[in-house]
Amino acid sequence: MTKGIRLRFPPSPTGKIHIGNMRTALFNWLWARKNQGELVLRIEDTDRQRSSVDFEEIIRQEMEWLGLDVDEGVGVGGKYGPYRQSERLEIYQEYGQRLCEEGRAYHCYCTPAELEQMREEARTRGEMPRYDGRCRLLTAQEKERYQAEGRQPVLRFKVPEEAGEIIVNDLIRGQVIFDAAILDDFVIFKSDGMPTYNFAVVIDDALMEISDVIRGEDHLSNTPKQLLIYRALGFEPPRFAHLALIMDQNRAKLKKRSDDQAVYVGEYREKGYLPEALFNFLALLGWSPKDDQEIMSREELIAAFDLAAVNKSAAIFDLDKLNWLNGKYIREEKLERIVELSIPFLQRAGYLGEGIAAEQEQRLRRVIEVARTRVDYLAQLPAEAEPFFKELEFEDQTAVVEEFKGEQVKLVFTTLKERLNELEELNPESVKQVLQWIRKKLPVKPRAIYHPLRLALTGMNSGPELIDIIYILGLEEVEKRLDYALRLADRL
């Protein structure tokens, strides 16, 4: 396909990166890798108030976590730098100057309050709020007077009268036609001297020789303005592809806090979602391979991805499906890795210390092996592993003890202790045989065996298989818990 393409991901560091943004980055990454192209990371920090380097750092860390490496840009360098818009001011000014000299842009001294009033009036008249171009014809004297008042002008782009129809050829949407008449003279330099998004993005994409702009659909309506600037500056526009947005469960644009759904990438990382699972899930949101494959590796995704096959309609972020997918990855991934990833969660729960001894590690592996089938994400693991790390506590002791009542249960408990002690080696197979022997040879009903045992050993009504519980707990601990249960039963 297209060779030598250049893509870019231009986040603004005004907040932690959220899942919708990351999906846009991911599609760019996929398309770049698919075509052996280059991906540029550019930081759009022209909003001085809201931008911060901390957010920039978070964005880069989360991209790295997800496995989206960039070939060029902030943090990696490259020959088209600088890659932070705040460091490219002179470049923008040069082009702004040029537009001014050519009469394609002009200074506007209207204050925000005045503009707001104009908009308000337009709205009450039922008209579209748009700047009327009143500063187009300001005389030198008028400008001087405003200057003297201390007004800082903005620079506006003069939308050509003859612009007519502006056509956006979108890779995903096809031809989209805009009437230039609806455009007003938009601001390209703010009064603080910084360029606006619509201006800076054009200069940067052109100068950085970006060939394909893949971005959210929220930018589609901005595209005609940008096209006008490409035209005015004599730049060749890139190909555009506007991705449908991801919506939250209320069908609104996914933003900051959409109810209590997690929206930041970091929240998923902290909850113990695997990066490859989130990657897989995000890739399938708005795109699907030709076959019905759902679980796909990074490589498979790159091979199968096709921008032209991306969906036009917005998708809702389906947490249930992410959970299923992530759970599947947790169950099918190498145990070693899951153990490694689980350790911080267990430590935070207080179940594990800083260092992990060799003999402890063996036990840890077993615990996680049985617990991993029961979780969607790693933060749920401590709760599942609790019986293996905590002393037994019976919340409702009387109800529990009720289960231990009766000679049959006591017989089961004592017999289990005896038989376990007679074992040469405690392993799943030998434990299994002991349990089978108890069921077959002891004159007790099944309901006097399994549930009471589970309760006595874990304090819970459900959980891993008894065989695993006994094997992992070990002889000593099993005896201790059985004795405790026996003592409780005797109190009846």
* Interface of this chain with RNA, residues 221 to 280, rule: CB under 7 A: 221-222, 244-245, 247, 251-253
Q: Establish whether 256 is a catalytic residue.
A: yes
CB of 286 to RNA, least distance (A): 4
CB 407 within 8 A of CB 483: no
CB of 4 to RNA, least distance (A): 26
Question: 């959409």: which residue's tokens?
Answer: 258
In the structure encoding, which two tokens stand for residue 483, read together? 């004795």
Among 136, 143, 173, 480, binds RNA (CB under 7 A): 173
Using the minimum distance from each CB to RNA, give the nearer residue, 175 or 398: 175
CB of 84 to RNA, least distance (A): 11
Instruction: Give the footprint of RNA on residues 135-154 (CB under 7 A).
Output: 152, 154
CB of 247 to RNA, least distance (A): 6
Among 219, 269, 363, 480, binds RNA (CB under 7 A): 219
CB 328 within 8 A of CB 280: no
Which of 79, 143, 253, 256 is catalytic? The answer is 256
Beta strands in 64-162 (DSSP E): 72-73, 105-108, 154-157
CB of 125 to RNA, least distance (A): 9
> Alpha helices, DSSP H only, in 314-396?
319-332, 335-348, 358-371, 381-389
Instruction: Give the footprint of RNA on residues 366-395 (CB under 7 A).
Output: 373-374
* Count of positions on this chain that bind RNA (CB under 7 A): 86
Using the minimum distance from each CB to RNA, give the nearer residue, 48 or 98: 48
CB of 103 to RNA, least distance (A): 21
Among the residue ranges 124-132, 231-239, 397-405, 419-427, the one whose residues contact RNA (CB under 7 A): 124-132
In the structure encoding, which two tokens stand for residue 125, read together? 């008249």
Q: Which residues of 367-405 are buried (b: 16+ CB within 10 A; e: fewer)?
A: bbebbbebbbbbbbbbebbbbbeeebeeeeeeebbebbe
Among the residue ranges 205-213, 220-228, 340-348, 360-368, the one whose residues contact RNA (CB under 7 A): 220-228
CB of 491 to RNA, least distance (A): 26
Using the minimum distance from each CB to RNA, give the nearer residue, 312 or 337: 312
Q: Return d(Cα 190, Cα 193) in angstroms, integer.
A: 5
CB of 206 to RNA, least distance (A): 16
Using the minimum distance from each CB to RNA, give the nearer residue, 68 or 284: 284
Instruction: Give the footprint of RNA on residues 311-350 (CB under 7 A).
Output: 311-316, 318, 320-321, 323-324, 327-328, 331
Instruction: Give the footprint of RNA on residues 1-40 (CB under 7 A).
Output: 10-12, 14
Among 137, 148, 177, 358, binds RNA (CB under 7 A): 177
Using the minimum distance from each CB to RNA, give the nearer residue, 298 or 439: 439
Taking CA atoms, 235 is separated from 44, 78, 89, 226, 228, in Å, by: 20, 21, 19, 11, 10
Instruction: Give the footprint of RNA on residues 451-480 (CB under 7 A).
Output: 451, 454, 461-466
Instruction: Give the footprint of RNA on residues 405-444 (CB under 7 A).
Output: 439
Instruction: Give the footprint of RNA on residues 69-88 (CB under 7 A).
Output: none
Q: Does 52 bind RNA (CB under 7 A)?
A: no
Q: Does 491 bind RNA (CB under 7 A)?
A: no
- Nearest CA to 103 out of 151, 142, 141, 156 is that of 156
- Nearest CA to 74 out of 39, 28, 42 is that of 42
Q: Return d(Cα 161, Cα 23) in angstroms, integer.
A: 38
Q: Return d(Cα 492, Cα 456) in angstroms, integer.
A: 16
CB 83 within 8 A of CB 56: no
- Nearest CA to 266 out of 69, 74, 61, 68 is that of 61
Dihedral sign from CA coordinates of 219, 130, 236, 93: negative
Using the minimum distance from each CB to RNA, give the nearer residue, 373 or 427: 373
Q: Does 304 bind RNA (CB under 7 A)?
A: no
251: left (phi over 0), alpha (psi -120 to 50) or beta: left
Using the minimum distance from each CB to RNA, give the nearer residue, 131 or 388: 131
Among 57, 87, 132, 218, binds RNA (CB under 7 A): 218
Using the minimum distance from each CB to RNA, give the nearer residue, 347 or 451: 451
Q: How many CB atoms lie within 10 A of CB 200?
A: 25
Among 194, 208, 282, 412, binds RNA (CB under 7 A): 194
Q: Does 191 bind RNA (CB under 7 A)?
A: yes
Q: Does 363 bind RNA (CB under 7 A)?
A: no
Among the residue ranges 132-140, 192-200, 231-239, 356-364, the one whose residues contact RNA (CB under 7 A): 192-200
DSSP-derived 3-state class of residue 165 = strand
Phi, psi of 166 (to 5 degrees): -115, 125
The enclosing H or E element of 487 equals helix 466-490
SS3 string of 168-191?
EEECCCEEEEEEHHHCCCCEEECC
- Nearest CA to 336 out of 362, 309, 306 is that of 362
CB of 462 to RNA, least distance (A): 3
Among 288, 347, 408, 415, binds RNA (CB under 7 A): 288
Which residues are known catalytic residues? 256
